[in-house]
């Protein structure tokens, strides 16, 4: 396969540009099913109340939702917390503004500086980390790990080898950082194996912790662990959604590109992080008390392993200061 570096960009750069275009005009509900609903809102509200009690019921409690879309989940959580009314700020951050009663809208590309940080309260992100762009690496037929380059039409070529730091730098990839992350979290074995390099997600989770003076950081997202990366996810998890359907990941701004999060790597990036699953956090019986029985089955269907045609297991990361 030719290695003409002019044929495309590393996935992270192409994905970043396409993401800005896509989310400028799209809402998550228009393109894929999300687990954000009454069960999740109730559990998040419980965590907020527990944090409030742990902090001694501060005069002002701030709840921040990163990548909140149109603020729907944040509003649901707010409805479950009437006892906090009057001393709680509710802030939603996304790429475009929205309007929700009692919720402040901040337009920003995160991670970035957030006005008012560090906060006393809860900083959360629901299905946001998996939207953060990753570079993609593939092992070629000679056993060499190479950066995958992609053009706007989704056509891929294998670019520079990770062992060639200068060539990687010319396409904007830090080869040393990529090799270090892969060696620790996602080593490739055979030709055709692929990986998404997740160090940006690790840093984003650590950044969320930095937004707190005291309180709780919380992430829920589609994820994998070391075992699934070596077996079920050997060829990567890159996928896209458009109009409720799974489509080929093409960085042209017409679809939402996403990839599973190495949640074990994120947890290590912020010492003290507790990693659980959505099944642990929201038992079926508890969920059945909050939504119609028919919706329970649909909800748990979304917790299956997501590959190119399915939604999947959702992990929870929690950190307290």
Residues 260-304: tens digit of each pLDDT: 999 999 999 999 999 999 888 987 545 444 444 334 343 444 433
In this prediction, residues 224-249 reach a mean pLDDT of 92
What tokens were used for 170? 């010319």
pLDDT range class, residue 37, cuts 50, 70, 90:
confident
pTM, full prediction: 0.88
Higher pLDDT pick, 252 / 313: 252
Q: Examine the pLDDT at 68 and tell me if it is beyond 90.
A: yes
In this prediction, residues 7-12 reach a mean pLDDT of 92
186-207: pLDDT as tens digits: 999 999 999 999 999 999 999 9
pLDDT range class, residue 21, cuts 50, 70, 90:
very high
Annotated domain spans of the chain = 28-132+199-226+259-320
SS3 140: coil
Residues 127, 223 contacting (CB under 8 angstroms): no
Q: Examine the pLDDT at 100 and tell me if it is beyond 90.
A: yes
What is the Cα–Cα distance from 193 to 140, expressed in whole angstroms?
8
C-alpha distances in Å from residue 77, one per residue of 26, 38, 106, 113: 23, 8, 18, 24
In order, the DSSP letters of 236-284 are: ---EEEETTEEE----SSSSEEE--EEHHHHHHHSTT-EEEEHHHHS-H
Question: What is the structure's pLDDT at 245?
Answer: 87
Average pLDDT, the chain: 88
What is the Cα–Cα distance from 223 to 115, expressed in whole angstroms?
30
Higher pLDDT pick, 282 / 28: 282
Q: Examine the pLDDT at 30 and tell me if it is beyond 80.
A: no
CA angle 114/271/198 to nearest 5° reads 70
Does 3.40.50.150 match the CATH number of domain 28-132+199-226+259-320?
yes
Question: What is the structure's pLDDT at 27?
Answer: 72
pLDDT range class, residue 312, cuts 50, 70, 90:
very low
């Amino acid at each position: 396969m030719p290695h003409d570096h002019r044929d495309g960009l590393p996935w992270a750069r192409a994905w970043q540009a396409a993401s800005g275009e896509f989310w400028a005009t799209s809402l998550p509900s228009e393109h894929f099913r999300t687990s954000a609903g009454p069960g999740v809102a109730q559990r998040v509200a419980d965590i907020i109340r527990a944090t409030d009690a742990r902090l001694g019921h501060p005069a002002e409690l701030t709840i921040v939702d990163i990548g909140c879309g149109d603020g729907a989940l944040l509003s649901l959580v707010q409805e479950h917390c009437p006892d906090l009314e009057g001393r709680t700020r509710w802030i939603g951050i996304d790429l475009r503004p929205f309007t929700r009663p009692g919720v402040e809208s901040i337009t920003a590309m995160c991670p970035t500086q957030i006005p008012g940080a560090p906060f006393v309260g809860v900083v959360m992100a629901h299905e946001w980390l998996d939207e953060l762009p990753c570079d993609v690496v593939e092992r070629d037929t000679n056993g060499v790990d190479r950066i995958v380059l992609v053009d706007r039409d989704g056509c891929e070529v294998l670019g520079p080898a990770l062992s060639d730091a200068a060539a990687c730098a010319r396409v904007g990839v830090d080869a040393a950082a990529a090799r270090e992350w892969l060696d620790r979290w996602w080593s490739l074995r055979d030709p055709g194996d692929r990986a998404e390099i997740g160090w940006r997600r690790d840093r984003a989770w650590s950044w969320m912790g930095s937004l707190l003076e005291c309180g709780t950081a919380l992430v829920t997202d589609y994820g994998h662990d070391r075992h699934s990366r070596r077996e079920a996810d050997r060829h990567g998890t890159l996928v896209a959604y458009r109009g409720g359907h799974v489509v080929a990941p093409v960085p042209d701004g017409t679809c939402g590109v996403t990839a599973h999060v190495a949640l074990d790597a994120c947890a290590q990036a912020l010492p003290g992080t507790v990693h659980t699953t959505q099944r642990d956090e929201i038992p079926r019986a508890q969920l059945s008390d909050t939504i119609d029985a028919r919706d329970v089955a649909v909800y748990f269907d979304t917790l299956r392993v997501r590959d190119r045609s399915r939604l999947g297991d959702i992990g929870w990361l929690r950190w307290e200061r």
